[in-house]
Amino acid sequence: MADTGPTLRFRDVCIPQKAGEDVLSQLLLAGAPIQYLCMGGTCGTCRVRVLRGQEHLNEVAPGERHWFPDTTGEVRLACQAICKGTGDVVVEQSLKPTRQSKAV
């Protein structure tokens, strides 16, 4: 089987990864059942745990620090996590997302 390049996986959805595009948009286009609201980094609904490939995503954005002050990249906002296209990325989302009560 031919090498298709880096992939992006969420549950049973596994798609060819698009470098420079955010995780949320790619997964939504693929029909993945990922939860989201704003698509702009402000609601926190799209929070995902990065199970594999943190190094293949952009640096944690300053706006994500509001939600995850101490993250080293293991938790991201899918709408702010940009794929570099350098290797496989696997993310997961809790079935019951917890909303952070922190004021903006």
Residues making contact with ligand FES (CB under 6 A): 36-39, 41-46, 77, 79
Which is nearer to ligand FES, 7 or 35 (by Cβ)? 35
Q: Which is nearer to ligand FES, 1 or 62 (CB)?
A: 62
Q: Which is nearer to ligand FES, 56 or 67 (CB)?
A: 67
d(CA 59, CA 37): 22
d(C-alpha 43, C-alpha 49), whole Å = 16
Smallest gap from Cβ 13 to ligand FES, in A, equals 17
Helices then strands (H, E): number in the chain? 1, 5
